[in-house]
């Protein structure tokens, strides 16, 4: 007979899914922060080429 491991418990499946979701959230936050750092290093002319402007509060907005 072949070895048949027991199927993972529903608690194990749930824990894996929760960890996967948390990992995805952390990854998206780090990507967003990297984009912000990249934009912070740009000159005003480069931001205008991308149709963006930097507000006084440091937020980037598109031209309207």
> Each residue of 33-42: pLDDT tens digit?
777 777 888 8
How far is 37 from 51, CA to CA, in rounded Å? Answer: 18
Answer with the residue of higher pLDDT: 34 or 50: 50
Answer with the residue of higher pLDDT: 20 or 30: 20
Is this structure's pTM higher than 0.75? no
The predicted pLDDT at position 27 comes to 86
The answer for residues whose C-beta is within 8 angstroms of residue 26's C-beta and 6 or more apart is none
- Mind listing the pLDDT tens digit for each residue in 8-24? 788 888 899 999 999 99
């Amino acid at each position: 007979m072949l070895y048949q491991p027991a199927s993972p418990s529903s608690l194990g499946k749930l824990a894996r899914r929760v960890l996967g979701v948390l990992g995805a959230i952390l990854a998206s936050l780090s990507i967003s922060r990297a984009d912000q750092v990249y934009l912070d290093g740009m000159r005003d002319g480069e931001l205008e080429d991308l149709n963006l402007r930097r507000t006084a509060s440091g937020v980037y907005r598109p031209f309207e």
